[in-house]
Amino acid sequence: MEIHPSAIVSPHAELSPGVKVGPYSIIGDHVRIGRDTDIGPHVVIEGHTVIGERNRLYPFVSIGSPPQDIGYRGEDTRVQIGDDNIFREYSTINSGTTKQDWITIVGSNNYLMISSHVGHDCVIGNHVILANSVALGGHVAVGDHATLGGLSAAHQFVRIGAYAFIGGLVGIAQDIPPYMIAAGERAKLYGPNQIGLRRNGFSSEVIQGLRKAYRIIWRETPIFRDGIARVREEMESFPELEILLDFITSSKRGIARSE
């Protein structure tokens, strides 16, 4: 390990081989950090926080601070972070509350850009990108390979599906289905994320199928349940279609509408 003399590391913290801790960083009592994680200067890691291997934390990152929730009373809630993530300057991750599973989760291979915020009880998947100043309210779920543009903000309890792409300066008040693009002052759907899907190896047949499902559900049928019924009648099933339909039918906040 390489720990700068000015860093404050609790003797109770668990640091694995290869961990680097930069100047003036602070690591609390209940923190565990995996191999080869690089912690830059002025980073604060506190609370009951577990960080996996090969993560990179840039200056002024804050992880494990108490949730911004008026009902929080100092309970031992947690943060769990996977491997190979990048946390750029001033990104913040709050611990969970007792209102869900007591934990905030960030998976692996994610990129959190400058000043992005992950609120309490959020669950972030893998290969997610949060651009500069993205704000996730409490209890937000973000699926694998989703991308959120700069200065976008997600309301509490919103779900953002896998491979979704959210533009910049977007307010997200309802669920964004997987595979879709959303943009606008208040998020509206603009069809499947075709470029992102191609880049991630989805076949032309799958993309065309998702385009047809989008057209039926969002453009041709005014009521979601009727659109879903039409899709099931008119289209052959394939795994991505079933994921899309299951996401829609399980929504509690409602699904974003099309432009």
CA dist 76 and 238 (Å) reads 43
CA dist 42 and 127 (Å) reads 26
Active site residue 42: no
- pLDDT tens track of the chain, all 259 residues? 899 999 999 999 999 999 999 999 999 999 999 999 999 999 999 999 999 999 999 999 999 999 999 999 999 999 999 999 999 999 999 999 999 999 999 999 999 999 999 999 999 999 999 999 999 999 999 999 999 999 999 999 999 999 999 999 999 999 999 999 999 999 999 999 999 999 999 999 999 999 999 999 999 999 999 999 999 999 999 999 999 999 999 999 999 999 8
Active site residue 121: yes
- pTM beyond 0.85, yes or no: yes
Catalytic-labelled residue, pool 42, 48, 117, 120: 120
Catalytic-labelled residue, pool 22, 47, 52, 138: 138
* Distance set, CA 4 to CA 21, 23, 26, 244 (Å): 6, 5, 11, 49
Is residue 188 within 8 Å of 258, Cβ to Cβ? Answer: yes
DSSP secondary structure code for residue 85 in this structure: -
Active site residue 120: yes
DSSP 51-73: E-SS-EE-TT-EEEEPPS-TT--
Give the HSE-up count for residue 18: Cα atoms under 13 Å, Cβ half-sphere: 9
What domains can be seen in the chain, in order of their start residue?
A: 2-139 (2.160.10.10), 198-249 (1.20.1180.10)
